[in-house]
Structure 1
Amino acid sequence: MTTTAAVLQQAHALAAAGRLPEAQVLLKRIGRLDVALVLRRAEVAQRPTSAVAEHNLAALLGDMGRAAEAEAAVRRAFAKAGDAPETWLVLARALLAQDRFDEADAAYRQALTRRPAYAEAVRDLAQLIWMRSGDAQAALQPFEAALAAAPGAIDLRIARATVMEYVGTAPDIVLAALTADGSHPEIELAAIQAALGVDKDRALAHARAAHALRADIRTALKLAEVHLARSQPDAAQPLIDAVLKALPEDQNALSLQAVAWRQAGDPRAAELYDYDTMVGAWTIDTPAPWTSLPDYLADLAKALRCLHGLTTHPLGQSLRHGTQTTASLLTSTDPAIRAFFTAIDGPIRRHIARHGTGTDPVRRRSTGSYRLSGAWSVQLKPGGYHAAHIHPEGWLSSACYIDLPDAVHAEGRQGWIGFGGAPFTPDLPHQHFEKPEPGKLVLFPSYMWHGTVPFEGDQTRLTIAFDVVPA
């Protein structure tokens, strides 16, 4: 029996025992939310008057990117006397994913009316305010009432720090706000990022405190990251080794392994980051009924730009000075967007076939087939960029160029994608670059550090990105 089949069997057994939340966790782990959806719909049928069953269905539909269906399930939950703040949060997210920003704002506030210190709702509302306005003070305002209701609440302190960081608050101010009301493993973890921008010794102290309070994979990798930020690969290596022994495919650990080997001058770094082999540049196919790629890209760009109705970047991501679509493109009904997934199918399969099988972290996971895990569009403004990052839930990641500014042809690799340089090790710059071209699809391992060079001018840079996982 395959591992996937075994997990499916276990999930069905849990569902039969009435343990649907646990079954859903297992199904999400193997990417089978379609099976979870069948179970949730059956629960609604078995409990036709249950608002909770409708809420659970709505939450799953939201996770699947099926925003309109999620909204409909929430409305049914309300009709069955459901009025929980969690249900209002699901509604708000479904409305946001449909670009109904005023209604989403109102739904977030309804959630907070019912639970003033609801950290997820406060953070989401703050993010929506920020993405719509670019106003840092307005984005932070929802935390005032929340913290008045729950002074010093850990989840609110962390959420506020995230907002502060991504709206441009100075790191020392973020750090002071985080640490003002005592310690906790999550507080120590959050403090590391801010401290790296202030004092690497202090960052190490926070990382050690987090690991001492809770020795797990997250704290181990964060401690390893701080050692690498301090150019101490020998101190980081045992922590990385322990994680990779337990989780050989952990993309975060693999990304840190590459940095540690590079800092140590270990030749294995070049094997893990074999750019010539592992970074593939392909031209997407022209999907029917279009007869030329430029015509298709023009229609695709028009469709995508209709989805970029916000003002600035989301929180907690690599994007700076640009916008990102709020709903997964995988669920779009627009003909040009739907055709994109036909256009990339051939290049993805050719890329996987070119790799073949092997023992390295990419090839050993290959099954010869794939599925997409999320797809979104980014529109960078002049001066915009992606900070160096990885994709921890992926296997292969991507950048597909739809419409580009003239600056990509200028000096300085403006708007190009670079590989190899981690954000916490400025002494290790990118080693490999790919020049954007309309219709070009760049595929690479999800553990590979990558970012974008800022560009000048008055034009935007429009892309689609997605993650690929083995099927």
Structure 2
Amino acid sequence: MTAEVQATVEQAKRLAALGRIDQALALLADVTARADAPWQTLSVHADLLKRAGRLEESADLSRRLVALRPQSVPARHNLASTLGDLGRAEAAEATCRETLAIGGDAPETWLVLARALQAQNRFDAAQTAYGEALARRPAYADALRDLSQLIWMQGAGLEAACAPLDKAIAAAPGEPVLRQIKARLLDYAGQPQAAYQVLTAGALDAPGELAAAQAIQRLDPERALAHADRAAVMAGGPVIAVLVVQAECRLALGQAAAAMVHIDTLRRIAPTNQHVLACQATAWRMLGDPRYDQMYDYAAFVRPYRLEAPSGWASLEAYLVDLAQALHGLHGLKAHPIGQSLRGGSQTTAKLSESRDPAILAFFQVIDAPIRAYMAALGPGEDPLRARNTGDYRLQGSWSVRLHPHGFHADHIHAEGWLSSACHIELPSSVTGADEGREGWLRFGAPPGVPTLEAQHHVRPQPGTLVIFPSYMWHGTQPFGGDETRLTLAFDVVPA
């Protein structure tokens, strides 16, 4: 590597350290565009592209780096990791195994392999790979979190899911992150008080104070606020997650004006964060601010679209039968994941937009027209929704949920999205039948933790109907009875 290229790389690193990643990427682009680009430049550029969320470009550079340095363990591991982030589980698995074959044996590689296996519904093999990662680093927090969640989602029960965490905590009692992982598991298993007790059993650092606030928030918002305030002091500067919890606690306590102090700070440092926008809307509603009705304009922003039958299917009804069959085949787990909105059901782990199943692949072709119609109907504007409307989009994530009888989605938003969706594929008769109770219906406008604010808008699901709405809108579902499941396919969209 010449001195000139070395200077360029070092300058790019300095820019990235200052948060000016776009400038760093622009600086490196001219160098890596050359066929004889040094491997060090390819490595730094691929890493920065990944940090910027430009995963396809990062993977392309990583492939060039592997071709240039076929015996480099880090190069192959990084490619495997990026392929996993892209949802290409089979390719990620193959690259992990190549990494192991040339001498790589790091717990990080075993973790990427475990996640790739899990995304392919090969749960026993994934559990073994998580175990290999932990054999190399017993207190590896990421592996412990994923393993305990996999055990929970397989329906083995809370005690079995907590077992690897309890073993790690006993061996490393001074690691607060392990208690935080266990507490989150307990919270989503319906035991928030037990989660809080686990967290407060030892000293709390700033992340621990935040975790304690989140665990007790619904039960005791005043105590949660005290934890969040301590986390803010310990952090020594604005932290988005802490500010959000402070705002939510004040909203739960009826202190909307005080919450706006936190929200105003958040809007400055995270202007497109959908959770922040949701908190702002909630405060405006509580304060009677007319801007709330503009932001939560249900007539304009919650739009249903009837799907067209894809090419190769005689009717939409025939297509939905095949799509439902393909999706049911992916629901190998039994319990809801940790950190998600559903309760009483399962969620697929693979990115469905990467599926090669013909029915699933066709879905991502037929949704293009509704998404573009939604963006066209929005048009331009200065509000947080329209201001990001470029007229083009990319998918941020895609998954399927199968709710069991009495299951539901807790009210939530999608913090990293712009537009969110729910497409109903297969519905139980309790949902498609009488209107009484609105069983299984979508509901909008009920922020969690503020019981005085009820849902304002409902949408009755119909098989083959896609509902698109802003990611910042609080949304959930009504529980439903009977003995049939409710199957949906959903995705998030961000501007391109």
When residues 291 and 31 of structure 1 are mapped into structure 2, their CA distance, relative to the original with a 3 A threshold, is farther
Q: Distance in 2 between matches of 1:134 and 1:355?
A: 46
Q: Distance in 2 between matches of 1:236 and 1:248?
A: 16
Q: TM-score, normalised by structure 1?
A: 0.96
User: What amino acid is aligned across from residue 93 of structure 2 in structure 1?
Assistant: E
Aligned in 2, Cα 1:11/1:28: closer, same or farther, shift over 3 Å? farther
Q: Deviations over 1:154-179 (max 9, x none)?
A: 2211111111111222x222111101
1:54 aligned partner: 76
CA RMSD of aligned residues (A): 1.9
Paired residues for 1:47-446 under 5 Å? 47-169=69-191, 171-214=192-235, 215-216=237-238, 217-408=240-431, 409-410=433-434, 411-446=436-471
Checking the alignment, whether the CA contact within 8 Å between 1:14 and 1:23 is kept in structure 2 is: no
Q: Check 1:11–1:311 CA distance in 2 against 1; reply closer, same or farther (3 A cut).
A: farther
Contact 1:27 1:36 (8 Å CA) reproduced: yes
In structure 2, distance between residues paired with 1:94 and 1:455: 34
Q: CA deviation at 1:205?
A: 0.6
SS of residue matched to 1:219: helix
Between the aligned partners of 1:77 and 1:26, the Cα distance in structure 2 is 22
Contact 2:183 2:194 in 1 (8 A): no
Which runs of 5 or more residues in structure 1 are unaligned? none
Q: Distance in 2 between matches of 1:87 and 1:276?
A: 48
Determine helix, strand or coil for the equivalent of 1:294.
helix
CA shift at 1:31, angstroms? 4.3
Alpha-carbon distance, 1:198 to partner? 3.0
- Alpha-carbon contact 2:266-2:276 (below 8 Å) kept: yes
Q: Which moved more, 1:128-137 or 1:60-69?
A: 128-137
- In 1: Cα distance, 2:54 partner to 2:319 partner: 32
State the distance in 1 between where 2:81 and 2:102 align. 16
Q: Does 1:33 align with 2:55?
A: yes
Q: CA deviation at 1:461?
A: 0.3
1:340 deviates by: 0.2
Report how far residue 7 of structure 1 moved: 7.0
Q: Is the 1:322–1:379 Cα contact (8 Å) retained in structure 2? A: yes
CA offsets, 1:243-275, max 9 Å, x none?
Answer: 212332221110100100011111111111111
SS at match of 1:133: coil
TM-score (structure 2 length as normaliser) = 0.91
Task: Please identify, of 25-34 and 370-379, the stretch whose mean Cα deviation from structure 2 is larger.
Answer: 25-34
Amino acid at match of 2:452: D
Q: What's the CA shift for 1:464?
A: 0.4
Secondary structure at 1:412 match in 2? helix
Structure 1 outlier segments of 4+, above 6 Å: 13-17, 19-22
**Residue 148 of structure 1, CA deviation:** 2.3
Letter in 1 for 2:372: R
Q: Deviations over 1:179-235 (max 9, x none)?
A: 111121111111112212332221111111111111322211221111111111111
Distance across 1 between alignment mates of 2:41 and 2:473: 37
Q: Which runs of 5+ in 2 are unaligned?
A: 1-19
Residue matched to 2:26:
9
CA distance in structure 2 between the aligned counterparts of 1:334 and 1:93, rounded to whole angstroms: 20
CA gap of 1:19–1:163, structure 2 versus 1, over 3 A, is farther
**CA positional deviation for 1:30:** 5.4
Structure 1 residues 301 and 158: alpha-carbon distance in aligned structure 2, compared to 1, 3 A threshold: same
Q: Is the contact made by 1:11 and 1:24 (CA closer than 8 Å) also made in structure 2?
A: no
- Tell me, what secondary structure is at the counterpart of 1:152? coil
Q: Would you say how many aligned residue pairs link Structure 1 and Structure 2?
A: 468
Secondary structure of 1:468's counterpart equals: strand
